[in-house]
Amino acid sequence: MLRWPDVLKYAKYSNPEPPRRVEQSEAAWKAQLTPAQFEVMRLKGTEPPYRNAYCRSYEPGVYACVGCGSLLFNSTEKYHAISGWPSFTQPITKNAIKYVFDNSHRMQRLEALCNVCDCHLGHVFPDGPEPSGLRYCMNSLSLVQTKEVALGGKFQPSDGSGNQL
C-alpha cells in the first residue's frame, strides 16, 4: 500500500518503471482527444467541480486513462471526498501513476500523471482516509470507467490483456 512518504519519494527521486510507454505528438493528442480532454490532459487544466462524469458515480469497475487505456484505479478504492472530483485512496498498481512536484498557481502540490502516456490526471494529497491517508483527486475527463471482473481484490481485464484495456 502506498502512503504519502512513498509518493513523495517517487516524485523526488524516481518514479516506478511503467509497464509500457505511449508517446505521440501534441498534434496526434489533439486529434485523439476532445478539446476539453486536451485542455485537462495535455495542458494540465482542471474540469469544473461537481459537474463531471465520475464525481458522484460509484459503479463497480476500473478506471483507465482516456489517452492510452492503461488501468489506473479500482472502484473499490473510490470514496466520497466532498472535493467535487472523483477521489481514490490507491492506484490499481504501484506503477500506474507518475508523480511530479507542481508549484503552479502559487501552490505546492503533487501532480498525478498516467505513467504510460504522461497525460495529466489530477493531484495527490495527504488528507485521504486511512489506512493510506492518500486522496487521488482526479479529473473525470482523464478517466474512462469500464466494467471488469473482480478476482480476489484484483481486476482481471475481460480481454485478458494484462494491465491495459
Q: How far apart are CA 100 and CA 1, in angstroms?
A: 19
> pLDDT confidence of 162, banded at 50, 70, 90?
very low
The residue annotated as part of the active site, out of 55, 114, 117, 137, is 137
- All domains in the chain, ordered by first residue: 4-13+47-146 (2.170.150.20)
- Residue pair 23/117 in contact (Cβ under 8 Å)? The answer is yes
Q: What is the mean pLDDT of the chain?
A: 90
User: What confidence tens digit (pLDDT) does each residue in 16-36 have?
Assistant: 999 999 999 999 999 999 999
Nearest Cα residue to 155 out of 83, 104, 90, 102: 90
Residue range 102-152, pLDDT digits in tens: 988 788 899 999 999 999 999 999 999 999 999 999 999 999 998 864 443
Q: Is 119 a catalytic residue?
A: no
pLDDT > 90 in the chain, percent = 82
Cis peptide before 49 (omega within 30 of 0): no
Which is more confident, 128 or 157? 128
Q: Say what the pTM is.
A: 0.88
- Give pLDDT, residue 160: 40
pLDDT score, position 147: 80
**Residue among 80, 115, 112 nearest 96 (CA):** 115
Model confidence band, residue 163 (pLDDT cutoffs 50, 70, 90):
very low
User: How far is residue 90's CA from residue 118's CA, in Å, rounded to a whole number?
Assistant: 18
Which residues, including other chains, have CB under 8 Å from residue 71's CB and lie 6 or more apart? Answer: 62, 63, 64, 92, 93, 96, 155, 157, 163, 164, 165
Amino acid making up residue 128: G
